[in-house]
Structure 1
Amino acid sequence: MTSVVSVITAVHGPSAKFLADAYKSLNEQQLPVGWEWQWVIQQDGETDDVASYVPDDPRISFGQGRHGRAAMARMMGMSRVVGEYVRVLDADDMLTPGALARDLTVLTGQPGIAWTTSRVLDLLPDGSTVGFDQDPPEGPIERGEVLTHWQAHDFRAQVHPATLCVRRDLLLALGGWMALPASEDTGLLLALNAVSRGWFTAETGLLYRKWPGQSTSQAAHSEQEERAARMAVVEARAEALLALENWRIDAA
């Protein structure tokens, strides 16, 4: 019997041109014996400027929906997810060789681990890469650790939500990505960490593309009033879940 890891990607017109690079990085993954991948691509919007960039591959499921930003697109895409685990891959990013295999090795071999993250390198427009200087050591991340670090470091987590690979059932039980204009993935990460143990892999798992059209580079992303509101609701959700002892998840 074949097991499936589902890779989910939200995409909009400006980022569609990068899907070829994302696909190449996914197609080059070597999975453990008995595993295969599914790529669920969900367009944020119903325009005609994305479909032509979607590769012709039976393992890919492409859908469209009303504009609502990345969180809503991913959640709509979840309707087509068939895998036991869900791996995030933004349209403009790329997996590194072996990233999916490392995720699956941890999730299937480490008792009590419900989600994984990994080291990220920023991919700059000139092709150079820059790493993060506050990566934690490889190994388990205990409940509440991400929230504590995030609160102490100006709302910046020590692990990157764009590298998340998580149990599908837990993702759905928590309501998925938060209904926010940004930081929706951070909100999910903190919620997951509030109820379950995770893992950080020190080997680089993602190239995070920096380019002028990405949403995090826009002025609105850093507007202080909205940012404060996003962080407040992300924090409140995580703290509420952390306080609910019956929400603790012990992954098999």
Structure 2
Amino acid sequence: MRRRIIIVTAVHAPSAPFLPDAYASLRRQELPEGWEWQWVIQEDGKSDQVAPYVPDDARVTFRQGRPGGPGVARTLALSQAAGEYVKVLDADDQLAPGALARDLAALEGDRGIGWATSRALDLLPDGSTVGFEGDPEPGPIEHGAVLDFWAAHDFRAQVHPATLCVRRDLLLALGGWMALPASEDTGLLLALNATSRGWFTPEVGLLYRKWPGQATGQPSHTETAERAARMAVVEARARHLAAFRWRHPADG
């Protein structure tokens, strides 16, 4: 029986036209012998504007649900995620060649690693890409390292949560993504870092699209009071998880 990595994508109507590009990036992935991918696309809401962009492929599952934001959509998608690992791919982003194979190599190579991340590049509207300084050293990321960096750098993590690949059992144990209107993926990243060691791959794993309709580009995303509230609960969750000393794997 083939082993499976699940790709989870939250989508709403404005981002649906980017799904074919995300699909093309998935089709370019080369997995190790004995592995396959399944793509679970979960619409955040119920419309007739997303389905036309969903590929006709037996490896693709499409579901709809009540609107609640991308974190809710991704968490609902976990009900369809029958595989050992869950990889995030936002509807408007693209995987770089080799991304899945590198994630699997990290997670399969060390049972003590709970999650993997990689370098990300911004994909600009003209097709050019922009990188960032400050990536961590390649290899393991120890407990608390992401939280410490994030707290010291105005709530910016040194690894991108949109590049996460996670052990499914660990993701479910943490309850999926946080119930926040934004920063739900950062909340998950910090909770993962509080409970398990991670991994950073220096090769580019994701092209993170910048476009006018992007949720993180809207004024509401940086509104002072709400941002402060989000950051406070994200940090508190991570610090309490660390204080409880719950660890993955349980015998680690």
Shift of 1:110: 2.3
- In the alignment, the residues of structure 2 paired with residue 18 and residue 218 of structure 1 have an alpha-carbon distance, to the nearest angstrom, of 19
Structure 2 counterpart of 1:112, one-letter code: G
Match of 2:43 in 1: 43
Shift of 1:27: 0.8
Which 10-residue stretch deviates more, 174-183 or 105-114?
A: 105-114
Match of 1:110 in 2: 110
Structure 2 portions without partners, runs of 5+: none
Match of 2:55 in 1: 55
What secondary structure, in the 3-state scheme, does the structure 2 residue paired with 1:208 have? strand
Q: Deviations over 1:20-46 (max 9, x none)?
A: 000000011000000000000000010
What secondary structure, in the 3-state scheme, does the structure 2 residue paired with 1:92 have? coil
Q: TM-score, normalised by structure 2?
A: 0.98
Match of 1:210 in 2: 210
- In the alignment, the residues of structure 1 paired with residue 167 and residue 64 of structure 2 have an alpha-carbon distance, to the nearest angstrom, of 24
Match of 2:86 in 1: 86
What secondary structure, in the 3-state scheme, does the structure 2 residue paired with 1:229 have? helix
- In the alignment, the residues of structure 1 paired with residue 173 and residue 111 of structure 2 have an alpha-carbon distance, to the nearest angstrom, of 20
Match of 2:97 in 1: 97
Shift of 1:112: 1.0
Match of 2:77 in 1: 77
- In the alignment, the residues of structure 1 paired with residue 38 and residue 132 of structure 2 have an alpha-carbon distance, to the nearest angstrom, of 29
- In the alignment, the residues of structure 2 paired with residue 232 and residue 39 of structure 1 have an alpha-carbon distance, to the nearest angstrom, of 33
Structure 1 counterpart of 2:229, one-letter code: A
Match of 1:168 in 2: 168
Q: TM-score, normalised by structure 1?
A: 0.98
Q: Deviations over 1:28-67 (max 9, x none)?
A: 1000000000000000010100000000000000000011
- In the alignment, the residues of structure 1 paired with residue 231 and residue 35 of structure 2 have an alpha-carbon distance, to the nearest angstrom, of 37
Aligned pair count reads 251
Q: Deviations over 1:143-170 (max 9, x none)?
A: 0000000000000000000000000000
Shift of 1:217: 0.4
What secondary structure, in the 3-state scheme, does the structure 2 residue paired with 1:72 have? helix
Match of 2:248 in 1: 249
Q: Deviations over 1:201-250 (max 9, x none)?
A: 000000000000010000000000000000000000000001112x1113
Match of 1:225 in 2: 225
Shift of 1:111: 3.9
Match of 1:124 in 2: 124
- In the alignment, the residues of structure 2 paired with residue 129 and residue 203 of structure 1 have an alpha-carbon distance, to the nearest angstrom, of 14
What secondary structure, in the 3-state scheme, does the structure 1 residue paired with 2:73 have? helix
Shift of 1:198: 0.2
What secondary structure, in the 3-state scheme, does the structure 2 residue paired with 1:159 have? coil
Structure 1 portions without partners, runs of 5+: none
Which aligned runs of 4 or more in structure 1 are off by greater than 6 angstroms?
Answer: none
Match of 2:25 in 1: 25
- In the alignment, the residues of structure 2 paired with residue 82 and residue 112 of structure 1 have an alpha-carbon distance, to the nearest angstrom, of 22
Structure 2 counterpart of 1:96, one-letter code: A
Structure 1 counterpart of 2:106, one-letter code: V
- In the alignment, the residues of structure 1 paired with residue 60 and residue 129 of structure 2 have an alpha-carbon distance, to the nearest angstrom, of 29
What secondary structure, in the 3-state scheme, does the structure 2 residue paired with 1:41 have? strand
- In the alignment, the residues of structure 2 paired with residue 91 and residue 213 of structure 1 have an alpha-carbon distance, to the nearest angstrom, of 12
- In the alignment, the residues of structure 2 paired with residue 244 and residue 159 of structure 1 have an alpha-carbon distance, to the nearest angstrom, of 24
- In the alignment, the residues of structure 1 paired with residue 196 and residue 114 of structure 2 have an alpha-carbon distance, to the nearest angstrom, of 6
Shift of 1:132: 1.3
- In the alignment, the residues of structure 2 paired with residue 55 and residue 127 of structure 1 have an alpha-carbon distance, to the nearest angstrom, of 23
